[in-house]
Amino acid sequence: MIVTPSRTRAVSWPLLRPWLGVAARLGLAAVWFLAGGSKVGDLAASGRAVNAYQVMPYDLATVVGAALPFVELALGVLLLVGLATRLAAGVSAALLLVFVAGIASAWARGLAIDCGCFGGGGELAAGQHPAYLPEILRDLGFLALAGFLLIWPRTPASADGWLAGEPAVEDEDE
């Protein structure tokens, strides 16, 4: 069969955007599940990882470190099911900005630490070098996903849509 230009149809932004939103929502959910899941089993280590940044008192760092995995897992659940997507994306963006600022601060102050983003964390052994630039770039990529969802939070197969009685896919051409 020969395809003529009149028989082909380019994929338009209104058709593609909701599915990019699903990919962003599920991708960011996976990030939060991996991050929170890797830390929830050892909350003390998570607290030590936060303390390694040397930006708050030890007692506060241990509390933040213990709470962080549960916040990450909650964000993962909300994004997975698509419930309160804009709110979850906003909290994700704020958290990712804090992470980027923390890593940049550690780098600027000459600290040699593992970010602890996906478990572990804390001071690196002598001779080990931190990978701050890749960590910052990775988090900026995650921030782009959160930004996409802040702008376009409505996606197919989401609880937000079901609760609003919307069809599975919006037809934005109408």
State the average pLDDT over residues 41-62. 96
| pLDDT value for 171 | 46
Q: What is the pLDDT of residues 155-174, one digit of tens each?
A: 998 998 787 777 655 444 43
pTM of the model: 0.86
Q: What one-character-per-residue DSSP string does the chain give?
A: -PPPGGG--PPPHHHHHHHHHHHHHHHHHHHHHHHHHHHTT-HHHHHHHHHTT-SS-HHHHHHHHHHHHHHHHHHHHHHHHTSSHHHHHHHHHHHHHHHHHHHHHHHHTT--EE--BTB--EEPPTT----HHHHHHHHHHHHHHHHHHHH----SS-HHHHHTT--SS--TT-
Q: What is the pLDDT of residues 67-124, one digit of tens each?
A: 999 999 999 999 999 999 999 999 999 999 999 999 999 999 999 999 999 998 888 9
State the average pLDDT over residues 15-31. 95
Question: How do the domains of the chain map onto residue ranges?
Answer: 18-152
